[in-house]
Amino acid sequence: MRVLIATSNPGKFQELRQGLEPLGWACVSLLDYPLKMPKEEGATFEDNALLKAAFAAKETGLAALADDSGLEVDALDGEPGVYSARYGGKTTDTERNIYLLERLRGVPPEQRTARFVCVLALAYPDGHVETYRGEVEGRILEAPRGSGGFGYDPLFYLPEAGRTFAEMPPEEKARYSHRGRALRALIEAYKDGPPPREVTELE
């Protein structure tokens, strides 16, 4: 199956493409189909992922997979949440990380708990859609560590691994990450072929 991964972020595309390899899907990105995507104005990760996937599937005639993901920090009442990619109006990962650290200044380590959330939406041109969710719990460090990954990875410390996402090689990050968990849920659903679709009887 040919699938459009509805992102122009090379790091995110690479993670999703590699994660989907067990299904043997041929993956392309928005670099191959330069669509003007709708704004992410949903109140939840599910809203935004579904919006992007459905739009891309309709515009291209391909099955489209969209991801909406972000960081939820408990001490900030769940911020940045769905605004993770534009937190504080900052335009780069480094600026957003600095802004997050400023917002958490003075918060002790034990209160810097957070989670990464990812929702994958798979939409087909006929209007059928599916969603898969993954979460991982950790905490926010007081300074970045590691040079890998992207986004908030240098600040997100995973206690069970003893390192940040930015300190992990891609294979290890995929094993632990929110995106990896959502991908495994999707792969499980498709391991024996497409899952049955719900049928709504007409009245």
Domain ranges of the chain: 2-190
Prediction pTM value: 0.88
152 is in an annotated binding site: yes
Two tokens, residue 107: 């918060």
Mean of pLDDT over the chain: 92
- Which residues make Cβ contacts (< 8 Å) with residue 3, sequence separation at least 6? 20, 25, 26, 27, 28, 62, 63, 64, 65, 122
In the prediction, which pLDDT does 203 show? Answer: 37
Judge whether 173 is annotated as a binding position.
Answer: yes
pLDDT digits (tens, 9 = 90+) for 60-106: 999 999 999 999 999 999 999 999 999 999 999 999 999 999 999 99
- Give the pLDDT band (50/70/90) at residue 202: very low
Q: Is the dihedral of CA 175, 74, 162, 84 positive or negative?
A: positive
Mean pLDDT of 141-170: 95
Distance CA 158, CA 37 (A): 33
pLDDT digit string, tens, across residues 117-133: 999 999 999 999 999 99
For residue 14, what pLDDT band results from cuts at 50, 70 and 90?
confident
What percent of the chain shows pLDDT beyond 70? 97
191 among annotated binding-site residues: no
Alpha helices in the chain (DSSP H): 10-19, 45-60, 93-103, 170-176, 178-190
- Two tokens at 120? 């994958």
Over the stretch 163-194, which tens digit does the pLDDT of each residue have? 999 999 988 998 999 999 999 999 999 988 88
Can you give the pLDDT at residue 198? 57
Q: What is the DSSP letter of 148?
A: S
Catalytic residue positions, numbered: 68
pLDDT at 174: 87
Cβ-proximal residues to 69 (8 Å cutoff; 6+ apart), any chain:
45, 84, 116, 117, 118, 119, 178, 179
Say which CATH topology domain 2-190 has.
Answer: Maf protein (3.90.950)
